[in-house]
A and B are shown apart, each in its own frame.
Chain A
Amino acid sequence: MRENVRKLLYMDKRIVYLLMALAIAIPMFMPLGLPVRIPKSAQDFYDEIEKLNERDIVWIAAEINPANQAEFEPAIKAIFRHCLSKNLRIAVAAFYPQGANLAATWSADLVAEFGAVYGVDYINLGPRPSTSQDSIMDNARRDIIDAYSDRDNYGNPLSSYQIMADLQKASDVSLAVIFTQGSPGCAEYIANWQSTGDLMHMITVAAAVQIPVENPRYQAGMLQGMLGGMTGGAAYEKLIGHLGSATKGLDSQGLGHLLIVVLLIVGNACYFILKNLDEKAKTEAGGRS
C-alpha cells in the first residue's frame, strides 16, 4: 500500500498540469451553465451607475495590465455597454503603462456598436507614470487639462475636444470606476480625490487577489460598489442583461477551483497515510530490535 500511496503523492507533475488544462478547457466546449449569484457588492456597483443622469461623466481608472485580462476585459466591456446605453460620457485614464491602450482595445467594439464619438462621448487621457500619480491627481483636482499636459492618449491636444469643456476638474466627474490590482488603485484615488471632497462617488473592479484589500473600503462606504474578479464580472453581465466572457469563463474557473480543492484533499490524505505507515514501521522496527 505504501508504494502505491507514495507513487500517487510523487506522480509526475505533468499529470497535474494535464488535469488542470482539462478542467479549464472542457467547460469552454461544454458549458455547465450554472446559475450566477449576484452579491450585494455587485448589485451596489450596478445601482451606482444606474443612479447617474444622462451625459454625466464616468471616470474609468484603467489600472490594468495584461496579466488580468481574463478578469478585467469582461468588466470593461460591460461597463462601456452599461454607460453608453445610458448615454453617459466616459473618460479613461491610467497610471499603468498599458492600461489606457488595453481599455481602448477592449472597448473598441462597444464604441463602434453605440456609435460613440471620440472627444464628445468618450476620451482617453492616456497613461501617466505611476511615480507621479499624486502630483498628477492633485493637479487634476483643479485643472485636468494641465495635469495631463494638454495631451490625450494619442498625442492630440485635450483642450480641442468638446467633452473637456465639461471635464475641467475632478469634481466634474460624477463617478469614478477604479480597476485595481494593487497600487496605484483605490487607495490613491481615495487619498487624492475623495478625502479632499472633490469626488465622493467611487466604485471598483478588483482583481480576485485584491478583493481582501478593497473589501474593508467597500464596507466603510469609501467605495460604494465592488466587482470582485471574474465572479463579479459575471454577476454584472447578468445585471446588465448581456452575458459575455466572464459568464463563460466562470465554469472554467469553478472547475479549476474544484480541482485544486480535490488535489489538496488527496495530497493531504496521502501525506497522512504515508506518515502513519512510516511511524508504524518505525515502531515495529524498534520492537524487533
Chain B
Amino acid sequence: MRRTLPVILTLVAGTLAILNSYIIFAPLNNWVPNYLQRTVTISTAWAVGIGSLNLMRIHSARISRKTTNWSFSVILIVAFTFFLVLGFVLEKHQENPFYSMLWNYVQPPLSSTMYSILAFYMASAAFRAFRMHSVDSTLMLLSAFIVMLGAVPIGEMIWPGFPVLQEWLLNYINTSSQRAITIGLTLGAMAQSMRVMVGLERGHLSGGE
C-alpha cells in the first residue's frame, strides 16, 4: 500500500494534468490550476520546511561529533537561525532597512566575488590543461578562439572575420546541435514521465521494487 497508493496518485494527477492541456472541459480546466497546481505550491512549502529541518539535523550532528570542518556547520546554523528569526520577528521584513542591508549588500557581493574568481581559474586552466590532444579537442580549441575573439570589439579589431565566423558557428553548428539535444531531452523526459506515471520507475518511493 505504501507504494501502490503513491503510484495511483501519480497516475491520476499526471493524467489529469496532461488532459488539461489537450481537452477543453471547464470543470477540468478549472480544477487543475485551482486545486492540483496549488497542491504543488503547498507541497513545495512543506518540502522546504522539511529540507531545512534536515539541514539542521545533519549539521548539528557534525558539530556534536566534531567531524572535519565542523566549524563551517556552526556558521551555517548561526546564519540560518539568525535570518529565520529576523524573518519571523520583523514585521514586513522586506521593508526593514537592517534586513534589506543584510539581504542585498552581504550575500550578493559574496556571490559575485565567487563567480568572478572563475576568470582567474579559467585563465590558469587554459594555460595548463587545455591541450590539442586529438581532433575533437583541436576543434573545441579553435571554436573557443573564434567565439572568444568574435564576441568582443578587440577581436574584430585584430581581424574583422572573427565576428562573422563566431556568428556562423553560433547560428549553424550550435543551433543544429542544440535543437537535437533539446528534442532528445524532451523525448527522454516524456518517456521518463510515462514510466513514473505507470509505476515502472519507483526510485522516488524509497527505491527498490
- Mark A residues whose CB is within 8 Å of B: 9-10, 13, 16-17, 19-21, 24, 32, 34-37, 39, 65-70, 98, 101-102, 105, 126, 129, 131-132, 134-136, 138-139, 142, 153-155, 208, 211-213, 215-216, 219, 228-229, 231, 250-251, 253-261, 263-264, 266-268, 271-272
Contacts and interface: CB of A to CB of B under 8 A. Distances in A.
A37 B162 CA distance: 12
A20 B119 contact: yes
Given A132-B44, A250-B153, A212 B170 contact: yes
A20 B120 contact: yes
Interface string B19-43: 0000000000000011001101100
A263 B120 CA distance: 12
B34 to A, nearest CB: 8
Contacts of B182: 216
14 contacts: A20-B120, A105-B104, A132-B41, A132-B44, A135-B37, A136-B41, A154-B94, A215-B175, A228-B151, A231-B151, A250-B153, A261-B145, A261-B149, A264-B141
**B interface majority secondary structure:** helix
Interface string B153-186: 1111100000100010011001100110010000
Interface string B119-131: 1101110111011
Contact of A67 (B47, B111, B123, B127): B111
A135 B41 contact: yes
B48 interface: yes
Interface in B37-75: 37-38, 40-41, 44-45, 47-48
Given A131-B47, A257-B154, A16 B124 contact: yes
Given A13-B128, A132-B40, A254-B155, A67 B114 contact: yes
Given A66-B112, A134-B40, A39 B167 contact: yes
A32 B156 CA distance: 14
A101 to B, nearest CB: 6
Contact of B153 (A35, A101, A134, A261): A35
B82 to A, nearest CB: 17
B111 to A, nearest CB: 4
Contact of B33 (A135, A155, A250, A257): A135
Contacts of B114: 67
Contacts of B171: 215, 219
B148 interface: yes
Contacts of B119: 20, 24, 256
A231 B103 CA distance: 29
Interface of B: 33-34, 37-38, 40-41, 44-45, 47-48, 92, 94-95, 100, 103-104, 107-112, 114-116, 119-120, 122-124, 126-128, 130-132, 141, 144-145, 148-149, 151-157, 163, 167, 170-171, 174-175, 178-179, 182
B102 to A, nearest CB: 11
A214 to B, nearest CB: 9
Contacts of A67: 111-112, 114-115
B154 A263 contact: no
A32 B40 contact: no
Contacts of B109: 66
B120 to A, nearest CB: 5
A260 B148 contact: yes
A254 B170 contact: no
B167 A254 contact: no
A7 B100 CA distance: 50
B112 A261 contact: no
A33 B189 CA distance: 47
B123 A219 contact: no
Given A101-B104, A139-B37, A231 B152 contact: yes
Contacts of B126: 260, 263-264, 267
A9 B122 CA distance: 16
Q: Lowest 9 CB-CB distances: which A-B pairs, in order?
A: A135-B37, A66-B108, A67-B115, A254-B154, A254-B152, A34-B153, A66-B111, A263-B127, A257-B148
Contact of B92 (A132, A154, A231): A154
B33 A271 contact: no
B157 A34 contact: yes
Contacts of B94: 101, 126, 153-155
A219 B175 contact: yes
A21 B126 CA distance: 15
Nearest to A257: B148
Contacts of B112: 66-67, 69-70
Contact of A17 (B37, B38, B107, B123): B123
